[in-house]
Amino acid sequence: GAGVSQSPSNKVTEKGKDVELRCDPISGHTALYWYRQSLGQGLEFLIYFQGNSAPDKSGLPSDRFSAERTGGSVSTLTIQRTQQEDSAVYLCASSLFPFPGQDSPLHFGNGTRLTVT
Amino acid sequence: RKEVEQDPGPFNVPEGATVAFNCTYSNSASQSFFWYRQDCRKEPKLLMSVYSSGNEDGRFTAQLNRASQYISLLIRDSKLSDSATYLCVVCRASGGSYIPTFGRGTSLIVHP
């Protein structure tokens, strides 16, 4: 079946511009996560959505970052006034249940590689 | 101190070798522990969950030591295809759910 889909796969933008990244989770998955991964670094948690609950935004690095999830499905991550340090791979993951486990693993998309010039 | 710490390696081993990775975590209230595998320029994929009683999946054995707050992964009879980065994942409580927190990963290179 279809996995987690992210678009675009690559994005090059100029410093100061806004960008919008999209994630289409697996159908029926209630939990959705955004992470970013810089070169040689681990995955950094950004934001978590679970059903209709208020999102956990504790990982967002600054107020330039925001995300929404419409209708409990598609999510968009918006970065305003991009900076060079925002360059990274942005990964979206979804899981069937809110408690990750063997029966409800995280399924990751291929990521969006963002380059800010 | 980082929430989840791993030795980045790389661990460079010959085919057939046994190799072990450790991972430590700082939050004693953490629940749920996993190892994920990430191939170069690919997304992470679940390798196995980690239980206190230890669990085995073929050549892979995972162990959790809650008292010392570390997790281990043992790979026996290494194959060339095991070459990848192994990510330790610890779930921390956040509201009514758990947020998976990833370590930086340990790089494994298996050579002929």
CB burial of residue A50 (10 Å; 0-12, 13-18, 19+)? buried
Kindly give the confidence (pLDDT) of every residue in chain B, 112 residues in length, as a single tens digit, with 9 standing for 90 and above: 688 999 999 999 999 999 999 999 998 888 889 999 999 989 999 999 998 888 999 999 999 999 999 999 999 999 999 999 999 999 988 777 788 999 999 999 999 9
Summarize pLDDT for A51-95 with one digit per residue, the tens. Answer: 888 899 999 999 999 999 988 799 999 999 999 999 999 999 999
* CA atoms in the 13 A half-sphere facing the CB of A37: 27
For residue A1, pLDDT over 70 is answered with: no
* Best A43, A48, A60, A104 residue to mutate vs chain B (most B CBs within 10 Å): A43
Note the Cα A64 to chain centre separation in Å. 14
Q: Where are the beta strands (DSSP E) in chain B?
A: 4-6, 11-14, 19-25, 31-38, 45-50, 55-57, 60-65, 70-75, 84-94, 97-102, 106-111
* Residue A36: both structure tokens together: 């970013």
Query: What is the C-alpha separation between A94 and B73, in angstroms, rounded?
Result: 25
Contacts of A41 in chain B (CB under 8 A): 104
Residue whose pair of structure tokens reads 């989840």 in the numeric block: B4
With CB atoms and an 8 Å threshold, state whether A42 touches B43: no
> Given an 8 Å threshold on Cβ–Cβ distance, is B43 in contact with A111?
yes
**CA–CA distance, A101 with A108 (Å, rounded to integer):** 14
Distance of CA B47 to the CA centre of its chain: 8
Task: Tell me whether residues A108 and B91 touch, CB distance under 8 A.
Answer: no
Q: How many CA atoms lie within 13 A of B70 on its CB side?
A: 11
The per-residue pLDDT for A25 is 95
Confidence of residue A22 (pLDDT cuts 50, 70, 90): very high
Cα(A71)–Cα(A51) distance, integer angstroms: 9
